[in-house]
Amino acid sequence: MLHNTLQTNATLMTPQARGTAVGLFSSALYIGQTTGVAAGALIYDRFGAVPLFLGTA
């Protein structure tokens, strides 16, 4: 539900540049998820699952 709200806000902020806004939004979303998974993998490999789950909680 958060994704829908953020995407709607991204398209309403700049109606004249709607394509650019949606493109930047999706790029930020996917780059952020990729970075989070990569950081989580490093934490898991070095310290195990407990610190990773505590950090996400």
The residues, any chain, with a CB within 8 Å of residue 44's CB and separated by 6 or more, are 52
- Give the tens place of pLDDT for each residue, 3-25: 788 888 877 877 788 888 888 88
Scored b (16 or more CB within 10 A) or e, 24-49 reads: ebeeeeeeeeeeeeeeeeeeeeeeee
Q: Rounded to an integer, what is the distance from CA 52 to the centroid of its chain?
A: 17
What does the pLDDT average to over 19-35? 89
> With a threshold of 0.75, does the pTM exceed it?
no
For the chain, the domains span 2-56
Helices (H), 1-57: 2-13, 18-47, 49-56
Q: How confident is the model at residue 50 (pLDDT cuts 50, 70, 90)?
A: very high
